[in-house]
A = this chain, B = another copy of it.
Amino acid sequence: MSDSIKRVVLAYSGGLDTSVILKWLQVSYNCEVVTFTADLGQGEELEPARKKAQMMGVPEEHIYIDDLREEFVRDFVFPMMRANARYEGDYLLGTSIARPLISKRLIEIAHETGADAIAHGATGKGNDQVRFELSAYALDPEIKIIAPWREWDLGSRTALIEWAEKHQIPVPKDKRGESPFSTDANLLHTSSEGKVLEDPWEETPDYVYSRTVNPEDAPDTPEYIEIGFEKGDGVSLNGAAMSPATLLTALNELGRKHGIGRLDLVENRFVGMKSRGMYETPGGEIYARAHRGIEQITLDRGAAHLKDELMPKYAELIYNGFWFSPEREMLQAAIDHSQGSVGGTVRLKLYKGMASVVGRKSPNSLYSERHVTFEDDAGAYDQKDAEGFIKLNALRLKLLAKQGR
């Protein structure tokens, strides 16, 4: 706390933890706090956050509450989905992709309000601190960053609650006992970690899930939907044009109903440890499968395979917090270049936890029934070409074999 801070922008949810942080910043740094509360589609009322900030003396003009849902989906989720990004084979990066947007707004607000620092409520063990801070430093190299969880001595929940009470911060009744797990939510996903999830052998209890019904309780009849794509991005559902956030919201509702997008994962954090998480990405899972579906008929093999090779690195960059980095932008440029003709319609079947592509069509389709048919192809393809193709592909292998290798 050696640096003198005059004004700090806090990523403020309105919950207990960030309320304690708000007060703690005022008390410890003796500085003004600007609060920033983002609507990323987490599904919570934001006005209570305003009230609480006011109660703690934050002036009205320093309370920022922004609806970022469209920007979030359009400029962050969809570009990432163009890459078919899944971290470690499965995770759709729901938390990772929200952090750079929050940092971007924190820095913008810092510049608007003349603040010299930002603060966030992420712990020192996780990935989110890294994501917040790398993004912030990339956007403003002079910004100061306060991460109270790495600084203060409120090492346990009991200490935190005592401190809250001592400073007249209202503590909701259900927070008095230990929270059974920690969650993050936005329009793309809800994640849960910790507590009952800490033993990776124990099945995630059903009460941890909040965004999807249990597949066993989902409808017994499949539902078919059609998603329209243009230039690699979803633009319609069942024929109705939709904005990015509207589309994802609608897919979330479908996914919730059919129990789609649950994931139980042990993943590798950037800070070096493994953690077990539970993710619900109902609309995202449907969307991701649909995007692959439309690529199947519109994307050339060379482009598709290059994308598949680049994807793990791209996903790792987002997971590790390097959204605002030259290498992520380079990969994005390559990926975006491939998406110009990725348009058409994908038909999916939703049923008890599964979203399966069952049909795809496109004016840009590269699928040629005439070439592939087992029937007479009217000369589209000369089977004799295959012999030369195979022989030249085999040549180096033959030369090796002649060496007895």
Contact = CB atoms under 8 A, between A and B. Distances in A.
Interface of A: 84, 88-90, 123-125, 129-130, 133-134, 137-141, 147, 149-150, 155-156, 182, 194-195, 198-204, 215-216, 220, 222, 262, 264-268, 271-276, 292, 296-297, 300-309, 311-313, 316, 321-322, 324-327, 329-331, 333-338, 340-341, 347, 349, 351-354, 356-361, 364-369, 371-376, 381-403, 405
B305 A316 contact: yes
A368 B150 contact: no
A265 to B, nearest CB: 7
A371 to B, nearest CB: 4
What is the copy number of this chain in the assembly? 4
A359 B396 CA distance: 22
A389 to B, nearest CB: 4
A374 B312 contact: no
Given A123-B374, A304-B88, A352-B351, A201 B361 contact: yes
B195 A366 contact: no
B292 A306 contact: no
B403 A198 contact: no
B357 A264 contact: yes
Contact of A337 (B330, B371, B393): B330
Contacts of A351: 215-216, 352-353
Contacts of A403: 341, 364, 366
